[in-house]
Amino acid sequence: MADKEAAPIERSPTDSGVDPSLIQWFMTLTPSERLRVVQNYIRSVQKIRRANRDT
């Protein structure tokens, strides 16, 4: 039997479909880290789009 403490924590999104754990994680970051996350996201999207354009 799996250890109760080691079991994954299941969470449900809010009624509106928002994942609170994502917000909780984002709020642990500093403001400059939050900006960097956005920039890295944009960079990743551009990389994927470029890769698909070039194929």
CB closer to other proteins, 2 vs 30: 30
Site residues, other proteins (CB under 8 A): 14, 16-18, 20, 22-27, 29-32, 34-39, 41-43, 46
Amino acid at 54: D
Minimum distance of other proteins from residue 49's CB (angstroms): 11
Alpha-carbon separation of residue 52 from 1, 31, 55 (angstroms): 46, 32, 5
CB closer to other proteins, 5 vs 35: 35
Q: CB-side exposure of 52: number of CA atoms within 13 Å?
A: 6
